[in-house]
Structure 1
């Protein structure tokens, strides 16, 4: 099952980004009988009898451009992937820590609450973010904008629900802010 799913994943990557020879799947067992593996496309990328079973996905592979992407969704996905890679490598800047806290409570996460969660003062929070070229307001707005765009692209909730989740007092306020961010009202953005 792992072998089959791995081959499917490599084929999917071929469809999305074209030939990506730097992405390989090494498996610690021999090739199963009758596996319909297209040797021309997966040669050198699906390796059997390896010393370790691992999907090797180099950080540079993140920069491969998806051929069928929505530019907004693609940019958000890349941003999220980079943030997760940074988390895994234990490089957590203050802006990353603040971003994660804002994502937990987008509607009611003031700078005082963030500072309390990080066990620092609000002035220290402001200074640390400034050292990274960020402001709390700009960071919060970025998180809220990304959240709104992703939820609208998802299509499973109404714009009113998204406005409530983000702490807007009414749909009109949210619509005004969203149009300022993207140039489109929420309903127009969803139809694009």
Structure 2
């Protein structure tokens, strides 16, 4: 048991460093409580202490949460928010494979955290997370992108990964994706037609 606890602590420290690096790189200010929540989520996923998201559709999770009562309702909304955040930040391929849009997942997750924040006043244990839930709701898309960046620092880059990242940049024009490509040695530029681009590999 002690080995598991030590491993969890090590993972938290490891993910904390990478999350802080990503926040600093993009000059995003996040309260300590929000950072700690994200690190706990990452560490739980890393050790398999939390089930993989996507096993139950988000729409059905929302239905369960709406029909629940008391503290169970809060727990289900929080779980829905966590699942959506993990899907958007750590399992984007799963979203695209299911034909879901990122906007849909963001709306579901942000709304779930908002509801959790409203319900948290009913529980002394959860009341301390009210501001965390509100922050995750308001900046859901931002934190999803940060988790995705943290995930990418934990995996070996392959040519296929670079191509996927480049295709996403072409579709969205995201400055953050462009910055990540640049760090990989790919310098994206827009073509004159606006819809096409080129890159230089170093």
TM range (shorter): 0.3 to 0.5
TM-score by length of 2: 0.39
Higher-Rg member (1/2)? 1
Structure 1 length as normaliser, TM-score? 0.40
Higher helix content, 1 or 2: 2
Q: Which structure would you say has the larger RCO, counting Cα contacts within 8 Å and 6 or more residues apart?
A: 2
